[in-house]
Amino acid sequence: MADLSTIVMVTLVSILAGLLYLLLSIGSRDSRLPPGPATVPILGNIPQLPKKQPFLKFTELAKIYGGLFTIKAGPSTIAIITDRKIAREVFDQKSSISSNRPPAYVGNEIIGDHDQPLFMPYGPRWRVNRKVFHQNFMESIVENDYMKIAHAEASQMLRDFVLDSEHYMDHPRRFGNSIMMCIIFGIRAASVDTPHLHRVFDTIEHIDEILRIGATPPVDIFPWLKYVPQSLLGNWISRAKEVKRIFLATFMAGFDHVKNRRKRLSVRNSFIDRLLDDEKLVFTDHRLAFLAGGLLLAGSDTTATMVVCFMQAMVKWPEFARRAQKQIDAIVGEDRTPTWADYKDLPYVMAIVKECMRWRPATPLGIPHYLDEDYWIDGKLLPKGTTLILNVWGLHHDEEYFPSPDTFNPERYLDKTLLAAHYVNSSDYANRDHYGYGVGRRVCPGLHLADRNMFVAMAKLLWAFNFEKFIDPVTGNVAEPDLDIVTGYNSDGLVMFANPFKLKVILRSEARRETIMREFARAESEVFAKYDEKIDE
C-alpha cells in the first residue's frame, strides 16, 4: 500500500500537469473552428501578426485557408471573413448575434467613457444612438437640407484650388470637415487655416496613435495586464486619458458654442440643436459631445481620403478623367458646375466614386464585430465571443470579381451605378458594389450623405481641372504618385490616407474660372452667411 507521501506527490504532479496542459492549451485552435495558421502555446498567432497593414497579411492567408479562417490571439478567437456569401450570412442574415463590438478597454472605456458610438456595445443605448442617426441622416433630409451645404462647400473647394493649387492635400480636408461642422454644430471651416479644423484633425491623429497595434498592451486579450503598473508598460493609461481629454476639449467646445448661441440668438437647425430640442432624449452633455465628435471624425476623414485617392487615380490614369469630362461637358457646359441633380446623367462619375471606394478603401478591415452566440457555418464553429473582421481590402481585391484589382478602372461599375444604399440592402451579395460602408446593422449611418458628397466633389473637380504629373521646372524630372500600398499610404490608424505626393492642377478654361468665382460668391451670400465661422473661446 502506497504511503501518504507518495499519494500526495502523485496528486501534486497530476494537478501541476493538468495546470500546465491547460496553460499550454491557451492559444491553440479547437478542431471545430475554421482553419488557420499554426499557433504557439499561450500567444496563439500573435507573433505572426504584423503591426502595420495587417489586411495584406490577412488577404494572403485567405488565399491559403479560404474566405473564412481563424487566428488565435491568446485565448481569443478572431474570424477573418474574405468571402461575399459568408459575409452576407454572418453579418446580414445573423445580424441579431453579430452586431456587437469586441471589448475595447482603451477605446470604449478609457477614452469613450462608454459613450463613443464607434465602440459602443450593441444594446439599448446603441439603438437609441442609431435611431438618432437615422432620423437626422435619412435620405430625404440629406437631399432637402444637407446638399445645399455640400454644393456650397464644393464651390469653395474649386475656388481654393484656383487660388492655391499647391495645397491640394488640404482642400479636400477642409471640404469634408466643413460640411460636417455645418450640419452638426452650425459652424463652418472658412479656410484651411481655421483653428477648429486643425483641432479636429489633430484629435484624429491622437486617436489613431493610441489605437494602433502595439501602442498599448493587449489588455482585451490578457485582462490581467490592467493590473501591471502602467509605468512598466509605457504609461499607457495616462496616454489614453490624455487622448480622452483632447477629444472632450475639441468637441465640448463646439457643443458649448451651440448652447451659448441658443441663449443669444434664435435656435439654429443644427444636429445638436435638434437633439437639445427633443424632450424625449435624455442625453448628458458628455454623451452628446461624443455623439457629435464620432460623427464629425468619421465624416471628415473618410471624405477627404477618398477625394485625395481620386486625384491620385486621375494623375495615373488620365484616360478615365477624359471620358468622365466628355460626359460632364455634354450635360453641363461651362456656365455652371455639376450638381447632385445631374447624378443620373453622369454615370461615369458615379463609377469613379465607386472605384475609388474599392481601389483604396478608407477602412481596409472595417471596424470589428463580436459574436454573441455560438454559430455553426459550413460545418465549422464560430464560438460565442469570436471577434469578426470583414477583410474589406481582400474583398475589394478579389480577382474573381475584380480582374487586375490593383489597377484603377471605373468601367467595372458602368452597369452598377445605383447608390450604395441599394446594394447594401440587396440580398444579391454577388452584385454588391463595395464594402466601404460596412455591413449588417453597423452599416455607416451617413452613407446617403457620403455618396452624394463624393459625387459632387469629384464631378466638380473633373469639370474644373485636369490633374497631371508634376514636372520639376529645374530638372525636368517627372514625379510619379507613389501608389504602392506599402510605401504610398499611411494605414496605421483607423483610416488609410495617401502620403503627400506631387501633382499639377490645371484649370480647364478661363470661362470655368469665371463660373467658379461666380458660384463661390453665390455660396457666400446664400449659404455661408447662415453659419458661424469661429467657435466661442
Using CB atoms within 10 Å of the CB of residue 533, give its burial: 0 to 12 exposed, 13 to 18 middle, 19+ buried: middle
For 449, the 3-state DSSP assignment is helix
Closest CA to 408 of 353, 486, 329: 353
CA distance 323 to 189: 33
Radius of gyration of the chain (CA): 25
Tell me if 123 sits within 8 A of 101, measured CB to CB.
Answer: no
CB-side neighbour CA atoms (13 Å) of 374: 6
Which positions make up the binding site for heme? 444
Q: How far, in Å, CA of 462 to CA of 224, rounded?
A: 54
C-alpha closest to that of 367 among 344, 401, 390, 339: 390
Cα separation, 314 vs 483, in Å, equals 12
Q: Which residue has the cell 475609388?
A: 356
Burial of residue 352 (CB within 10 Å: 0-12, 13-18, 19+) is: buried
Q: Quickly list DSSP for 292-335.
A: HHHHHHHHHHHHHHHHHHHHHHHHH-HHHHHHHHHHHHHHH-SS
Q: Are 369 and 481 in contact (CB under 8 A)?
A: no
DSSP three-state, residue 220: coil
Q: Which three cell numbers stand for residue 279?
A: 424632450
Q: What share of the chain is helix, strand, coil (3-state, %, to 5)?
A: 55, 10, 35
Report yes or no: 52 and 492 within 8 Å, Cβ to Cβ: yes
Q: Classify each residue of 36-60 as buried b or exposed e, where b means 16 or more C-beta atoms within 10 Å of its C-beta.
A: bbebeebbbbbeebeeebbbbbbbe
* Cα angle for residues 326, 332, 335 (degrees, 5° grid): 120
Question: Letter for the amino acid at 517?
Answer: M
Residue among 73, 146, 117 at smallest CA distance from 387 = 73
**Cα–Cα distance between 407 and 402 in angstroms, integer?**
9
Show binding-site residues: 444
d(CA 240, CA 235): 9
- Record the cell numbers describing residue 256, joined without a space: 458649448
Helix, strand or coil for residue 469? coil
